[in-house]
Amino acid sequence: MVMAIKNKDGSVYKLKSPNPIMKSQDVWSNFTLHNMIFEQTTEEDKVKLKKNPKISMGTTVVVEEKKIQEKEVIKAPAPPPPKPKIEEEKTTNQDPDIERPASVSNKLDGLPKTIFNCLPATVSEKLDDLYGEKSVKVTYGTKFTFEAIIIEETDMNLVFWTHLDKINKFTILYPKNKEKRWWQVESTKKAPEGNFIKCFPSYSHPNF
């Protein structure tokens, strides 16, 4: 079966035929027309069938489209939801290496505690007998961690309370909070059941 050629928009494709006006042109002369016997009009729905001679020209052929039945998709059962993880109860015995205060002053009780990484500094002074000048030597000890309470924290200043007495000037600290900054101890001051430590930003950034 031969089907009509159609355009992209679904219309029947038409072959371009010679222009009938050209037959009456007077400027043409001394030529022979070949294969110029054609009909002036065309039938859009005329389809020539070669394979089946019993079907006459002009017969509309209806092709039935078989609808393919979609196979039913069997969905696999959904997996059971994961069991919620039960968080282990935190005990006071966790992180035994962190030095925690045994008690906190009533004025500070209830404030959040922060873990500090600490590189302790030891300061020694030497007097030059000849010129009378003092020189300061700073040595650093073994790193450790402790728990403290931050009182104030700005871009250029940090003040916190600690129960420890071994945090000296030039000690480098790194609080485990969202600020992620290194600090260097500037001064210490006695406080109830501990000390207030004042710090400024550190130029040294040791790896804790």
Beta bridge partners of 158: 153, 199
Segment 45-61, tens digit of pLDDT: 555 545 555 555 555 55
Q: CA 178 from chain center: how many Å?
A: 20
Q: CA torsion sign, 143 to 147 to 151 to 152? A: positive
Domains and CATH numbers, the chain: 98-201 (2.40.10.370)
- Kindly tell me if the per-residue pLDDT of 119 is higher than 60: yes
Specify the higher pLDDT residue, 111 or 34. Answer: 111
Closest CA relative to residue 51, chosen from 113, 1, 16, 110: 1
The DSSP code for 60 is P
**Model confidence, pTM:** 0.52
